[in-house]
Amino acid sequence: MPKFDYSLNYAELDLRAHPELYRVGVGEQGVLLVQPYKAELLPHWRFATPDAAQESSEAIYGMFLAYLKAGDFVGADMARKFLQMGFTRARRYANHRGGKKYAGPVPDDKKGQSGAHGRPELPRQPEDPVKAESARIFKAKWDEAEANAQYAALKREHRARYG
């Protein structure tokens, strides 16, 4: 499977106009880069409380469905990534007060990419039940998006057509 291409100038690139340049990658890769979707989705992304997570996940899932209805796989995949990111960030805050998972700074050449990059994981705190509930809410919507048959079909088509 082709990796997400971090070499593109995403600040200047409209991937709605150029879906052929989009690669799904792994997990949340590119979630905070791909325009115009980042600008459309980010204002709705909140996980601090279960109420915020419920409202946010429903809004983003609604956008996911709208992108599917428009046949916009890139938009749907970005919405799916925002749902996934809601889960992973809420879980991180549930496990690590302040959300910092790893010790030390992120190497400059790895900013925006996932993984520890050789840094040790900080000890987990007692679970924050509020953030854990926010994570559960996002996970349910993320699972719903992943299970969507139209999404799966568009994903297969995109990969077959563009790699």
Domain-embedded: residue 94: yes
Domain-embedded: residue 36: no
Give the count of domains, the chain. 1
Domain region containing 148: 42-103+124-163
Domain-embedded: residue 35: no
Q: What are phi and psi of 99, to 5 degrees?
A: 80, 0
Q: For position 89, what pLDDT does the model report?
A: 95
Q: What is the pLDDT of residues 89-114, one digit of tens each?
A: 999 989 887 677 777 776 655 555 55
Contact assessment for residue 18 and residue 74, using Cβ atoms and an 8 Å cutoff: no
Q: What is the pLDDT of residues 33-69, one digit of tens each?
A: 999 999 999 999 999 999 999 999 999 999 999 999 9
Q: What is the pLDDT of residues 126-149, one digit of tens each?
A: 888 999 999 999 999 999 999 999
Neighbours of 154 (CB within 10 A): 19
Classify residue 77 by its DSSP letter: H
Domain-embedded: residue 111: no
Domain-embedded: residue 27: no
